[in-house]
Amino acid sequence: MLSVDLNCDLGEGYGAWQLGHDAALLEIVSSANVACGFHAGDPNIMRDVCRVAAANGVTIGAQVSYHDRVGFGRRFIEIESDDLTNDVIYQIGALSAFASAAGSRVAYVKPHGALYHAVNAHPHQAAAVAAAIRIADSTLAVLCMDDSEFARAAKAEGLHAVREAYADRVYESDGRLRSRRAHGAVIASPDGAIAQARSIVTRRSVNLWNGGTCSVLADSICVHGDTPGAVDLARAVRQGLEDAGVSIEPFVPSGL
Amino acid sequence: MLSVDLNCDLGEGYGAWQLGHDAALLEIVSSANVACGFHAGDPNIMRDVCRVAAANGVTIGAQVSYHDRVGFGRRFIEIESDDLTNDVIYQIGALSAFASAAGSRVAYVKPHGALYHAVNAHPHQAAAVAAAIRIADSTLAVLCMDDSEFARAAKAEGLHAVREAYADRVYESDGRLRSRRAHGAVIASPDGAIAQARSIVTRRSVNLWNGGTCSVLADSICVHGDTPGAVDLARAVRQGLEDAGVSIEPFVPSGL
Amino acid sequence: MLSVDLNCDLGEGYGAWQLGHDAALLEIVSSANVACGFHAGDPNIMRDVCRVAAANGVTIGAQVSYHDRVGFGRRFIEIESDDLTNDVIYQIGALSAFASAAGSRVAYVKPHGALYHAVNAHPHQAAAVAAAIRIADSTLAVLCMDDSEFARAAKAEGLHAVREAYADRVYESDGRLRSRRAHGAVIASPDGAIAQARSIVTRRSVNLWNGGTCSVLADSICVHGDTPGAVDLARAVRQGLEDAGVSIEPFVPSGL
Amino acid sequence: MLSVDLNCDLGEGYGAWQLGHDAALLEIVSSANVACGFHAGDPNIMRDVCRVAAANGVTIGAQVSYHDRVGFGRRFIEIESDDLTNDVIYQIGALSAFASAAGSRVAYVKPHGALYHAVNAHPHQAAAVAAAIRIADSTLAVLCMDDSEFARAAKAEGLHAVREAYADRVYESDGRLRSRRAHGAVIASPDGAIAQARSIVTRRSVNLWNGGTCSVLADSICVHGDTPGAVDLARAVRQGLEDAGVSIEPFVPSGL
């Protein structure tokens, strides 16, 4: 039987400010990318998200970021490798305490926002993040784009690199994600997202923006949590996959 | 043979700003209260201090604080219990990652600044910090003033409460520390600090400001790291204790 | 003809996080208490709110706070007088640049959250904030509770103290606001808020929680912007006052 | 009689952390680049530096930065133009309140660290900062490198661009500063710095790293405040210029 993981960014509020739909999405996804306080998230939110994730059998991952709260981690920062390595260790450690308090553990790491884009293409930053993960806990998996600098850096550190693809983002002819700023970059219709998710899992390919298809190998499918209709879309993708005989399973088991 | 621990606040720089004398003091003390980024300290500093502490056989403790960097954690904050508990868990977790990366572990917790004073006297905050420590790791020891709210809260949570006394601070007739703002609160002379340290360990008492003595039970002696002459004073206290036949040993062994 | 000011807290988002309904409320109120970045607000938001306020003829005030973003300024901080004075000067200056860029000016100051409560009752903090306002610009008005420490401190600094009352909060028998944590503290129904607003302006009194009435002298009525239905309630209060022949006018004219 | 301005970065401590030698340098320089809280500086420090600057007849400038305290503003950030513009307006406004409180005013702006380097070469960021200055106060001067993107952007906004040169930094054959990371980039000897300062003012040229000379037009000479011996070097440069008949005068008069 086919299975795939569903991952989503969660815990991205801050203090009095709410963002996204943590409780609802924690009933849908199998892996939670939990913000660690550098771009979003605070100790209260981290504790709550870890508790609910653990209760729901959702695997906990550290969604690590540049230290840029007002920019929500969306701005590239030209940071020294050692500084970046230590920033990532700090975040993994902080989240680990809450995961552990909930009877679970941090099982993987996924960079957020501008750092995600940077490690896909920027060898020094990719190496710095991969080193941080190995130093913090060499059993941690890494959630990354296939054929990226980050995937290579993770493997060079001996880490388990887990490939992800997107249900709700359009792919360009080179296999990369179409820029969010470009027309038509986002698949907003549940039917479209279901079709792409099924294609990724069952045919190991996606339709491209300019026509044609491209092979995609993915162990996890990312759904977004902060868009209008995010919950409905995520639920539809899950149901659509299950209706096609695909079970939703975390790529690393939840819990200890 | 008599022994006592020497503890000191360390890792209290931030970014480009330096404070104290971490490297020198890590050759003198047996326990390092390492700042965790809420009042001072950053990931680079935490990594460095943990590495040197581990290399020197110095036990690592989490020096947890209110979240108040510009105030250096010196201002009382009327914070909700859950918020404080989660802030402390976060700090312990972040430091644990660096201690672990250095082949060591966080072995104890000591509140910093205004939080230290608050937990001595404020039952709700004392309980919130003690709960955080038990939740993060119930094997952590707690460094605290004898006969304080915090000592009672730690014991109520089943934690090992380690009593500390001060070599370089004057005690009032009620057994409390004389306020830093008051005349004569600090013992600046090495001979004075040596005498008080020896008295604490060998006679289990201190001389009081107004004359007379008071019994003091302490497993650890705190020396300050941020005053002029701090290194010389700490070295003198250590040498003075060793000359009196007292060995300097961490109250919890360093390492795993 | 009777007139009164309507004031509301605005600009309380931060980075990617939104809060409240700035655009809608800037079409209803006559005075905008604009967050200055210490508890909420960032430069982008401050610029936008000032621009719309100026365009709509809404008077701009500085909503100053303790420096506590994760706590949204809702936690009392035991801060030294000089530190508080300088924090408030900083905030007034920052907002002034945006008000001026919009062709307007900061015309008054209103403390936020825990600082608002502190200056009502705490003479040192009240004096520190009043001193800051006088130092920053002695022509600034001060929005405050009648018969408060802050009103007295403002007058002692030669500032113009403007009294405010609440349309949507219940008053206790001593004339103070009923604690938000207490049952029945908030008037959620538009009719109730309209009735109280009319009573404040036309009869200079409010009905008390325990029955009876209390005289209230107010030049401004505060409506809240961050509750569900806040916009509808504010609009209802404005319309209800206008229907009773009360015009809505800022207590200090907008603009230069 | 020849004259030139001496400028220096000041007010770069934060909270409990000190940096540099503000009081001593404020007796030597004619223009103070005062940190505004985004990379360094806090309200207390800003107030103190402005007070002493005003008392000493030193002109006050806003040393504006990316929002990056832990990185001390030394890391390039790929920030949107509007975000950068508003960050700069905020900083100018905050400092203006303290300058005004001291009976003086902000007379010019100088970007700090990575932003300084970015605006020399990066047209979008140069334009964003120049726009901010014009919006905040179009009478503000701009301290910049000659023939830089920032100088051009400032002129395009109608601002007065003041050229600066360095007494203690070596110039490459292309007229740019030798990278601080390269061997021999800094002139540490007072005699060397005096010679270069005199050459800049009296011969309008500097000796280059690879031999030869390059013409330099500068209305201000920058001396550094954060290096060991900074005060002695700055004092030597001032004395050396005065001994050569050059008077030290701010390029914009201090005060109102």
Summarised one tens digit per residue, pLDDT across range C75-130 is: 999 999 999 999 999 999 999 999 999 999 999 999 999 999 999 999 999 999 99
Query: Could you tell me which chains touch chain D, where touching means 3 or more CB pairs under 8 A?
Result: A, B, C
Does any CB of chain B come closer than 8 Å to the CB of residue D40? yes
Estimate to the nearest angstrom the gap between the alpha carbon of D135 and the chain centroid.
21
Q: Chain D partners of C42 at a C-beta cutoff of 8 Å?
A: 86
Single-letter amino acid code for the residue at A52 = V
Of B237, B224, B240, nearest to B21 (Cα)?
Answer: B224
- What local confidence, expressed as pLDDT, does residue B240 receive? 97
Distance from the first to the final alpha carbon of chain B: 25
Q: Between B29 and C175, name the one with better pLDDT.
A: B29
Q: Do C136 and D101 touch (CB under 8 A)?
A: yes
Q: Do C93 and D96 touch (CB under 8 A)?
A: yes
Does any CB of chain D come closer than 8 Å to the CB of residue B71? yes
Does any CB of chain C come closer than 8 Å to the CB of residue B71? yes
Facing residue for D70 by CB, picked from A67, A75, A76: A67
Q: Chain C partners of D15 at a C-beta cutoff of 8 Å?
A: none
Q: Do A83 and B43 touch (CB under 8 A)?
A: yes
| Separation of alpha carbons C41 and D48, rounded Å | 26
- What local confidence, expressed as pLDDT, does residue C206 receive? 94
- What local confidence, expressed as pLDDT, does residue B119 receive? 97
Q: Do C44 and D82 touch (CB under 8 A)?
A: yes
Residue range A41-56: mean pLDDT, rounded = 98
Does any CB of chain D come closer than 8 Å to the CB of residue B17? yes
Does any CB of chain C come closer than 8 Å to the CB of residue D89? yes
Facing residue for C72 by CB, picked from A15, A69, A70: A15
- What local confidence, expressed as pLDDT, does residue C227 receive? 77
- What local confidence, expressed as pLDDT, does residue B219 receive? 96
- What local confidence, expressed as pLDDT, does residue D21 receive? 94
Task: Give C16 to chain D, closest Cα distance, Å.
Answer: 12
pLDDT per residue over A1-41, tens digit each? Answer: 899 999 999 999 999 999 999 999 999 999 999 999 999 99
Residue range C173-197: mean pLDDT, rounded = 90
Tokens standing for residue D173: 């054959």
- Helix H segments across chain A? 22-25, 43-56, 81-101, 113-121, 123-136, 149-156, 190-198, 230-243
Facing residue for C78 by CB, picked from B70, B76, B83: B76
> To which residue do tokens 């305290």 refer?
D69
Tokens standing for residue C156: 């002692």
Beta-bridged to residue B62, according to DSSP, are B34, B109
Q: Chain D partners of C54 at a C-beta cutoff of 8 Å?
A: none
Q: Confidence band (pLDDT; 50, 70, 90) for B66?
A: very high
Q: Between A135 and A174, name the one with better pLDDT.
A: A135
Facing residue for C15 by CB, picked from A18, A42, A69: A69
Does any CB of chain D come closer than 8 Å to the CB of residue B15? yes
The helix or strand, by DSSP H or E, that contains position B64, with its residue range, turns out to be strand B59-64
| Separation of alpha carbons D59 and D80, rounded Å | 31
Nearest chain A residue to B36, by CA: A90
Work out whether strand B31-35 and strand A205-207 pair parallel, antiparallel, or are unpaired. unpaired
Q: Looking at the whole model, is its pTM more than 0.90?
A: yes
Cβ(A219)–Cβ(A177) below 8 Å = no
Q: Confidence band (pLDDT; 50, 70, 90) for B58?
A: very high
Task: Give A76 to chain D, closest Cα distance, Å.
Answer: 5
Q: Do C71 and B78 touch (CB under 8 A)?
A: no
Q: Do D77 and A79 touch (CB under 8 A)?
A: no
Alpha carbon separation from A52 to A204, A236, C85, D152 (Å, rounded): 32, 21, 43, 55
Q: Chain A partners of D71 at a C-beta cutoff of 8 Å?
A: 77, 79, 83
- What local confidence, expressed as pLDDT, does residue C146 receive? 86
Tokens standing for residue B123: 């039952």
Of D75, D71, D61, nearest to D10 (Cα)?
Answer: D61
Among A87-91, B42-46, B150-154, D211-215, the range scoring the smallest mean pLDDT is D211-215
- What local confidence, expressed as pLDDT, does residue B228 receive? 78
- What local confidence, expressed as pLDDT, does residue D101 receive? 98
Per-residue pLDDT at D124 exceeds 90: yes
Task: Give B183 to chain A, closest Cα distance, Å.
Answer: 40
Whole-complex ipTM: 0.96
Facing residue for A75 by CB, picked from D70, D79, D114: D79
- What local confidence, expressed as pLDDT, does residue A228 receive? 78
3-state DSSP assignment of residue B19: coil
Q: Chain D partners of B72 at a C-beta cutoff of 8 Å?
A: 15-16
Task: Give B157 to chain D, closest Cα distance, Å.
Answer: 34
Among A238-247, B168-177, C199-208, the range scoring the smallest mean pLDDT is B168-177
Per-residue pLDDT at A226 exceeds 90: no
Among B56-60, B62-66, C175-179, the range scoring the smallest mean pLDDT is C175-179
Q: Do D75 and A75 touch (CB under 8 A)?
A: no
Task: Give B245 to chain C, closest Cα distance, Å.
Answer: 44
Residue range A217-235: mean pLDDT, rounded = 91
Q: Chain C partners of D84 at a C-beta cutoff of 8 Å?
A: none
Nearest chain C residue to A19, by CA: C17
Q: Chain A partners of D114 at a C-beta cutoff of 8 Å?
A: 78
Residue range C202-211: mean pLDDT, rounded = 93
- What local confidence, expressed as pLDDT, does residue A201 receive? 97
The helix or strand, by DSSP H or E, that contains position B219, with its residue range, turns out to be none
Beta-bridged to residue C61, according to DSSP, are C33, C108
Q: Confidence band (pLDDT; 50, 70, 90) for A251?
A: very high
Q: Which of B9, B17, B65 to mutate to probe the D interface, most D CBs <10 Å?
A: B17
| Mean pLDDT taken over chain D | 95
Task: Give D77 to chain A, closest Cα distance, Å.
Answer: 5
| Separation of alpha carbons C200 and D57, rounded Å | 52
Task: Give D254 to chain C, closest Cα distance, Å.
Answer: 19
Q: Do C71 and A13 touch (CB under 8 A)?
A: no
Q: Write out chain C in H/E/C secondary structure.
A: CCEEEEEEEECCCECCECCCCHHHHCCCCCEEEEECCCCCCCHHHHHHHHHHHHHHCCEEEEEECCCCCCCCCCCCECCCHHHHHHHHHHHHHHHHHHHHHCCCCEEEEEECHHHHHHHHHCHHHHHHHHHHHHHHCCCCEEEECCCCHHHHHHHHCCCEEEEEEECCECECCCCCECCCCCCCCECCCHHHHHHHHHHHHHHCEEEECCCCEEECCCCEEEECCCCCCHHHHHHHHHHHHHHCCCEECCCCCCCC
Does any CB of chain C come closer than 8 Å to the CB of residue B90? no
| Separation of alpha carbons B152 and A87, rounded Å | 35
- What local confidence, expressed as pLDDT, does residue B253 receive? 87
Residue range B149-162: mean pLDDT, rounded = 97
Facing residue for A43 by CB, picked from B42, B43, B89: B89
Q: Confidence band (pLDDT; 50, 70, 90) for B179?
A: confident
| Separation of alpha carbons C191 and A243, rounded Å | 51
Task: Give A40 to chain C, closest Cα distance, Å.
Answer: 9
| Separation of alpha carbons D256 and D249, rounded Å | 16
pLDDT per residue over C218-238, tens digit each? Answer: 999 999 887 778 999 999 999
Per-residue pLDDT at D256 exceeds 90: no
- What local confidence, expressed as pLDDT, does residue C137 receive? 97
- What local confidence, expressed as pLDDT, does residue A64 receive? 98
Does any CB of chain D come closer than 8 Å to the CB of residue B75? no
- What local confidence, expressed as pLDDT, does residue C149 receive? 96
Per-residue pLDDT at B146 exceeds 90: no
pLDDT per residue over D11-31, tens digit each? Answer: 999 999 999 999 999 999 999
Q: Chain D partners of C48 at a C-beta cutoff of 8 Å?
A: none
Q: Do A136 and B46 touch (CB under 8 A)?
A: no
Task: Give D17 to chain C, closest Cα distance, Å.
Answer: 15
Of B116, B135, B125, nearest to B84 (Cα)?
Answer: B125
Q: Do D75 and A77 touch (CB under 8 A)?
A: yes
Q: Between A178 and B106, name the one with better pLDDT.
A: B106
Task: Give B114 to chain C, closest Cα distance, Å.
Answer: 10
Per-residue pLDDT at D227 exceeds 80: no
- What local confidence, expressed as pLDDT, does residue B153 receive? 98
- What local confidence, expressed as pLDDT, does residue C124 receive? 97
| Separation of alpha carbons C102 and C254, rounded Å | 11
Distance from the first to the final alpha carbon of chain D: 25
Q: Chain A partners of C72 at a C-beta cutoff of 8 Å?
A: 15-16
Q: Confidence band (pLDDT; 50, 70, 90) for A177?
A: confident
C224: left (phi over 0), alpha (psi -120 to 50) or beta: beta
Task: Give A79 to chain D, closest Cα distance, Å.
Answer: 6
Q: Confidence band (pLDDT; 50, 70, 90) for C180?
A: confident
- What local confidence, expressed as pLDDT, does residue B181 receive? 84
Facing residue for D75 by CB, picked from A70, A71, A78: A78
Q: Do C42 and A17 touch (CB under 8 A)?
A: no
Cβ(D35)–Cβ(D242) below 8 Å = no
Cβ(C92)–Cβ(C159) below 8 Å = no
pLDDT per residue over B214-246, tens digit each? Answer: 999 999 999 988 777 899 999 999 999 999 999
- What local confidence, expressed as pLDDT, does residue D225 receive? 84
Tokens standing for residue A133: 């993960």
Q: Chain D partners of A83 at a C-beta cutoff of 8 Å?
A: 71
- What local confidence, expressed as pLDDT, does residue A65 receive? 98
Per-residue pLDDT at A222 exceeds 90: yes
Q: Residue D177 has what DSSP assignment? A: B
Determine what percent of chain D is predicted with pLDDT higher than 90: 89
Residue range B135-144: mean pLDDT, rounded = 97
| Separation of alpha carbons D230 and C84, rounded Å | 32
| Mean pLDDT taken over chain A | 95
Facing residue for D70 by CB, picked from B14, B18, B72: B14
Q: Confidence band (pLDDT; 50, 70, 90) for A128?
A: very high
